[in-house]
Amino acid sequence: MSDPRKIRLIMHLRQTGITDTNVLSAIERVPRDHFIPPAFHDRAWEDEALPIGLGQTISQPFIVSYMTQNLELHDRQRVLEIGTGSGYQAAILSKLCRRVYTIERHRPLLHVAEQNFSDLKIRNVTAICGDGMKGWAEQAPFDRIISTAAASDEPPPALLEQLSIGGILIIPVGGQGQAQILRRYQRESEEVYSKRDLIPVRFVPLLPDVPRGNSYSDIDLQELRA
């Protein structure tokens, strides 16, 4: 890890409470600059969210690290991600679990993410375009679920139903105009879920369906990809 910007970021994350060495190692190993537009490469290792097109952002490294740490991952788990974006969070997860399933509602961003996975030889991520609120029933149950978009008040029922017993869901909650909070749910039994509020956050809303007319022409892929 010779890049001083990367060293500074890892030190900053430790100071802000990221103590899981496996998570820090994943942040170190995944090249964040590969997942953002070239115009922002000079800010790739700063602790800030950056735009990736179509009104979406790549979350700041602290939020990525914090959410990942609270998933309590190990290398035999199957994880569902809602909101692929350009693929950065999924790439981090791929270093920490057996397989990642990820859903993106914007086809152009999914195309970019899949190319990023291919470029970096990430083989344990499967991505589809779809409605994240419905989860991925064909691949359920999941040991862990993470959403990078905010539900209005409670998680979509499908996501809770697709958790395995003992499974953990990390999701922002808070409707339009409301303060958002990152919340951790754990499935204790078939019918019982515990929940715990974590930290205030700000995410784009979790929306249903796939946007009509959502095609590659809606975004300049060359401008987005390095």
Q: Judging by DSSP bridges, how do beta strands 78-82 and 99-104 pair with one another?
A: parallel
Number of structural domains in the chain: 1
Helix or strand holding residue 124 (H, E): none
* Within a domain: 221: no
Report pLDDT for 224. Answer: 52
* Prediction pTM value: 0.93
Domain of residue 74 covers 4-214
* Within a domain: 105: yes
Low-confidence ranges of the chain (pLDDT < 70): 1, 213-226
The CATH number of residue 117's host domain is 3.40.50.150
Residue entry with tokens 């939020």: 63
Task: Give the separation between CA 108 and CA 42, rounded to whole angstroms.
Answer: 24
* Within a domain: 10: yes
Report pLDDT for 226. Answer: 47
Contact 145, 167 (CB under 8 A): yes
By annotation, the residues acting in catalysis are 59
* Within a domain: 224: no
Q: Which of 88, 94, 95 is nearest to 109 (CA)?
A: 88
Token pair belonging to 209? 């369906």
Task: Give the separation between CA 160 and CA 79, rounded to whole angstroms.
Answer: 13
Report pLDDT for 179. Answer: 92
